[in-house]
Each structure stands twice: as C-alpha cells, then as structure tokens.
C-alpha cells in the first residue's frame, strides 16, 4: 500500500480538468395524529440567514435555484405520501362496521395510498375491532417500499446520473482523494446530509454509515480502509496504488441554534462542544490506527463538519498543513452566506476561499501549523458553496429555519441503511450487524419514538435492511436470515413494546449493485 504519501504533500493523480469544481451549488410535517412538540423558540427567532427587504427574501448569487426547486418537489411529494397514512386510516376506521367493509377499505387504500392493506387484519375487524396499530405499522412498511423505486430516480441530481457520479469522482481525484467515507450522527435530521446539505451524488461517496453521536466504529472503519486499498492494488479502482491519492474520512456532528440546550445531539446531552470534541477524538483515533498499523504517513486525511439542523448551515473545521484540526478553527457557512449574499458570483467565490484562509490563520486555541493542501482547500470550498444553496433552500421554503426543529421521523431503519430515503427528519438510521453491538444507537432511536409515537398510542415502525452480494453464493439467504435474527433480538430487547403491539418490524434485503430493488423478507423460512 502507498504509505509514503505524507499529508502535507499535494500529488495530483491526473492533470487538472478544464471545468469548474464539481458541485451542484455552483450552477446558475409532522406525523398526523401525534401532538407536535412546543417550538416557541423557533417561532420568535428571526431569519438567521438574511432579512426580508421589500417583501422579498435576499437571493444568493451562487444558489442553484433549479436544483432547489427540484429537491423541494421531491421532498414535498414523499412527505405528503407518508402524511396521508393516518387520515386515510382514520376514515377507514369509521367504516369497520359496514357490511362491505373489506372491499371499501381496500378500494380506499389503493386509490389514496397506492397499495392494498393486509387482508387478515381487515377480515378480523368484526371480532374485536380493527387493529389500528398493526395496520398503521404495515402501512408505513408498504409506503416506504412503494416509494423506494420512485425515490431512487427522483432523488438523484438532475441530468444523467452516471455522468454526475463520474464528474464527482473526477473532482475528488483532482482534490487528491480516491475514496470519501462519511460517518454522521444517526439523528434523522441529518438523513439528507449527502443529497441536500452537501449536494453530492450518492455514488461518489464510498461509504455512508450513521452512529449515535457520530461515534463510528474505528476498527470497522480501518477494515473498510484496508478493503479500499486492496481494491486499488488488485483492480486499480478508482486509481492505482501508486497514484499518490488519499482516503478521506469525514465525521459529521450536529446542534440546534434555536434550542441548543434541548434539541441538539441526544448522544451528547445536546452539547455542541462535546459533540464536536468527541467526533474529533474519534477521527484522530482512526488516523492514528492507520499510521500505527501501516507506517507513519499513511495516506489518510480527516475532516470534521458540524451541521445546524435548524438551518442546515455547516461549520467546517479546517485542517492545518499536518492534517490536524481544532474545535476552534472553523468556517461558519452561515456567516459566509451573510457576507456574500450581496456580491456577484466572482466576488462570492473569492470570499469563500478567503474565509478558509482566514480560519487557517487563526490564533489562540484555534492556531494550527499553516494551511491545508490545495486539494483539501478545493474540497472544502466546494462543500461550502454547495451548502449555500441549501441555506437558501431553507430560507425560501421555511423562512430560514425549519418548523420541526426537533425529531419528527416516520420510522427507524437498522442494518445497512436505505439509501433511497435521504430526507431530513424522515428516518432515524442506526448502522448495525447485531443488536448487541448496535444497542446504544438503537436505544436512542427507540427512546425518540417512545415520545413521538408510543406516547400517542402509535407503534414504532422498524425497517431491518441488509445488502447482499449476488456474486457470492448463498449471500442473499444468509442476509435474509440475518434480518430474522435481528428482528428476534429487537423484539426481545423491547419486549414491553412488542407484547402490546407497539413495535412493528419489517425486513428487507437488497443487492449491492446500484439500482437494485428492495426485496421483502417473510418471517418464516426462506
């Protein structure tokens, strides 16, 4: 493996391409039937990005307005489909004593939800009433399954998907990175991180795993790094091992600017400082593990990003020339937005780079050893520019600050993760292989849904999802059995919910090949 590429060097794997840096930003409800949490703080805080002048929101010169409109249509469509479940079920519940109840219920479900309801639940309604908990849980499962196919296409960047991914990979390589691995907090408010907040195509990021508090598994990430480097040696993908490029590990924490004491990261007691400090510590442990195991100077860079989940504005912690970061050496993109909103495109671009340089020259606790290498500067600048579009996305559609500053997720996803649903506050995701190892992340999600759903009589929907490799004999069957094993473990761990019908688990597997459909797994034998 290439362990001679010191972090301070900038070795390009290929000539610079004659095109601007890649980045979509560089181009020209709550669940019905549950009571929303008080949001008084959000109601009185003014627009954090810009003021309203003459009845119009200010417009940033680097905003990709066309992409903002497309993403909003996609988000609105998905949210409306999930929000329609409870009103439809309420209407159906009022018909359960009609003589043609089953037929009418199925007709209404097909017309308004797009799928049939479980026949047995409807047929048993005359005995002891309609089991609304089971019906609600099954509707959530069928809705996400139905929307997955549509979301896979609708949620991708406009234009040719493969071309977008190729352009993104070309950009990463030009920044000296052959692989980008992101670990974010499991919080559902970060679920739209790649597609919305950072505006990157899914395929351009090698791995996206979520952990409570962004506390990723260092050992598992070292293994993923080894697999990536082995692929470069054996297959030369995406570049050969002697190309001089690096592996980039990104960690993403979050906080709430509206209610920092209560709506921040639950895993860190809503402390922004603690969330940043612990995520930075985990990044240092990962880098140290690589250097200790594969020689000092192994080709790994790290990057720490914070997200204000009320506005989607990011804070990027700027590495120094040695690749070291500080909690206090940052670029606050909300400030960049304010300072550049009245500029032309060239002036705004220049100020983004100036903000990075100014942060690199910080003194005191934020002082570092010079500036990051050129590739890192280009990458950070592009992420900041992309995020400017997202800041304006929130300004245009929510007046600069989301209404649901707290949790409002629809279901929990455990396992490998459903990449089709990348929308803020839609899914709480906990990456795990076994319930034992993923217990801390899963416990956080269950506690969130005890307040969101259980407190109002609704069950906690849990989607168990694993990916298999169709090239490996028997892999699909083993992953299906993993789904069943994890389901049994979840129902055992949260027996108090399962016994009352307040826990509904669905199981799915999916081939690793891009574009593969979801396959439902039945409870019985394969």
What Å distances lie between residue 111 and 105, 106, 114, 116, 326, CA to CA? 10, 9, 6, 9, 55
SS3 36: coil
Q: Tell me how far apart the alpha carbons of residues 174 and 464 are, in angstroms, rounded to a whole number.
A: 37
In three-state secondary structure terms, 254 is strand
Give the largest Cα separation in the chain, rounded. 78
Q: Distance between the two ends of the chain, CA-based, in angstroms?
A: 41
187 an active-site residue? yes
The two structure tokens encoding residue 457? 């009589």
- Cβ distance 215 to 267 under 8 Å? yes
Whether the CA torsion 34, 38, 274, 311 is positive or negative: it is: positive
Q: What is the DSSP letter of 196?
A: I
Strands (E) across 256-387 are located at: 300-308, 313-317, 330-332
Residue 332 class from Cβ within 10 Å (0-12 exposed, 13-18 middle, 19+ buried)?
middle
Residues 6+ apart with CB under 8 A from 371: 320, 321, 356, 357, 360, 377
DSSP 88-131: HHHHHHTTTTSTTHHHHHHHHHHHHTSSPPPHHHHHTHHHH---
Given 131, 174, 187, 416, the catalytic residue? 187
The phi-psi region of residue 268 (left if phi > 0; otherwise alpha if psi is between -120 and 50; otherwise beta) is alpha
In three-state secondary structure terms, 158 is: coil
8-state DSSP, 526: -
Residues 457 and 133 sit within 8 Å (Cβ to Cβ)? yes
Name the residue with tokens 């309609």: 130
Catalytic residue numbers read: 187
């Amino acid at each position: 493996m290439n362990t001679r590429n010191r972090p301070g060097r900038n070795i390009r794997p290929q000539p610079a391409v004659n095109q601007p840096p890649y980045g979509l930003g560089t181009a020209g409800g709550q669940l019905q039937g549950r009571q929303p949490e008080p949001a008084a703080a959000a109601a009185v805080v003014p627009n954090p990005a810009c003021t309203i002048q003459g009845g119009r929101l200010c417009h940033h010169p680097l905003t990709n307005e066309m992409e903002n409109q497309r993403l909003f249509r996609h988000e609105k469509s998905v949210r409306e489909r999930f929000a329609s479940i409870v009103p439809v079920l309420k209407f159906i519940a009022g018909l359960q004593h009609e003589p043609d109840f089953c037929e009418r219920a199925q007709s209404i479900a097909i017309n308004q939800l797009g799928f049939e309801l479980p026949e047995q639940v409807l047929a048993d309604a005359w005995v002891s009433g309609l089991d609304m908990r089971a019906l609600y849980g099954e509707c959530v499962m069928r809705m996400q399954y139905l929307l997955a196919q549509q979301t896979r296409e609708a949620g991708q960047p406009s234009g040719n998907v493969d071309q977008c991914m190729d352009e993104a990979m070309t950009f990463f390589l030009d920044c000296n990175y052959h692989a980008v691995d992101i670990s974010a907090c499991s919080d559902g408010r970060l679920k739209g991180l790649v597609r919305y907040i950072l505006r990157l195509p899914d395929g351009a990021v090698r791995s996206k795993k979520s952990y409570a508090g962004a506390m990723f598994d260092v050992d598992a990430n070292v293994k993923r790094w080894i697999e990536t480097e082995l692929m470069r040696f054996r297959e030369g993908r995406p570049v050969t091992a002697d190309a001089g490029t690096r592996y980039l590990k990104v960690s993403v924490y979050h906080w709430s600017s509206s209610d920092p004491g209560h709506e921040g990261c639950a895993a860190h007691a809503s402390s922004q400082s603690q969330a940043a400090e612990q995520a930075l510590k985990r990044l240092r442990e990962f880098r140290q593990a690589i250097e200790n195991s594969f020689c000092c100077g192994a080709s790994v860079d790290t990057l720490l990003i914070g997200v204000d989940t009320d506005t989607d504005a990011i804070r990027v912690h700027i590495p120094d020339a040695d690749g070291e970061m500080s909690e206090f050496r940052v670029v606050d993109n909300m400030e960049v937005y304010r300072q550049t909103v009245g500029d032309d495109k060239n002036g705004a671009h220049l100020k983004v780079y100036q903000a990075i340089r100014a942060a690199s020259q910080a003194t005191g606790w934020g002082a570092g050893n010079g500036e990051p290498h050129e590739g890192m500067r280009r990458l950070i600048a592009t992420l900041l520019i992309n995020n400017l579009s997202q800041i304006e996305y929130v300004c245009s559609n929510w007046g600069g600050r989301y209404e649901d500053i707290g949790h409002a997720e629809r279901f929990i996803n455990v396992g490998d993760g459903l990449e089709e649903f990348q929308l803020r506050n839609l899914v709480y995701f906990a990456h795990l292989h076994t319930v034992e190892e993923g217990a801390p992340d899963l416990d956080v999600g269950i506690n969130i849904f005890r307040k969101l759903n259980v407190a109002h009589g609704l069950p906690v929907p849990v989607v168990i999802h694993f990916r298999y490799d169709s090239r490996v004999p028997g892999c699909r069957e083993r992953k299906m059995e993993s789904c069943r094993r994890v389901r049994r473990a979840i129902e055992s761990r949260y027996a108090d919910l399962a016994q009352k019908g307040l826990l509904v688990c669905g199981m799915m597997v999916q081939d690793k090949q891009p574009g593969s459909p979801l396959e439902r797994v039945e409870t019985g034998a394969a």
